[in-house]
Amino acid sequence: MCNNYRLHVPANQLAVPFTDIGRRLILPDGIPNLEPTDYRIGDRAPVVLAGEGGLQLVMTPWAWKGPTGKPVFNFRSEGRSFAGSTRCLIPADGFYEFTEPKVAGKKTKWRFTLIDQPWFWIAGVVKEGAFAMLTTEPGPDVAPYHDRQIVVLPPGAGAHWLDLSAPEELILRPSPLGSLFVERVYP
């Protein structure tokens, strides 16, 4: 499952898809200083929520504690409705998956980026003040590396998830063939 992603995009670029459709992204704590970062479970990361007064970019921890105490960082989307949930968009420009064989005790690390887009959204939900990424069955670009994938949305499709202005089954689906570029980053 995705337990590592990156964001190397300035905060002001995250507002553009909303501005393009006549909506404003509110920064309640001011423009965050988003240094190019690889995020891991437990890190505070930027997410966009539909809140009071409009869309808000806020810093939120990645993963809430599950019933067994283990972190819930990915959440299966199939068979669920998220209409009553606090939905969020997680900005990213790449996510990682890890496969065997191990080299020097570490698995092979693969980075996935969206072809023809400098960044994308990951569909997520917020619970207990933290977020988790939604997953679905893997698309053909991810299937050789993992049996699940996070829900990747192009920048212009994010508002559909926040507003549920399209049916959930059309939003929460695998990435189509040829939409993700894959490169090995370790070793």
For residues 149-175, average pLDDT: 96
Each residue of 137-172: b (16+ CB within 10 Å) or e?
ebbebbeebbebbbbbbebebbbbbbeeeeebeebb
CA nearest neighbour of 129 among 62, 83, 68 = 62
DSSP structure class, residue 138? P
Confidence of residue 157 (pLDDT cuts 50, 70, 90): very high
Q: What is the pTM of this model?
A: 0.95
CA 126/CA 35 separation, integer angstroms: 23
User: Could you report the per-residue pLDDT of 107-148, keeping only the tens digit for each?
Assistant: 999 999 999 999 999 999 999 999 999 999 999 999 999 999
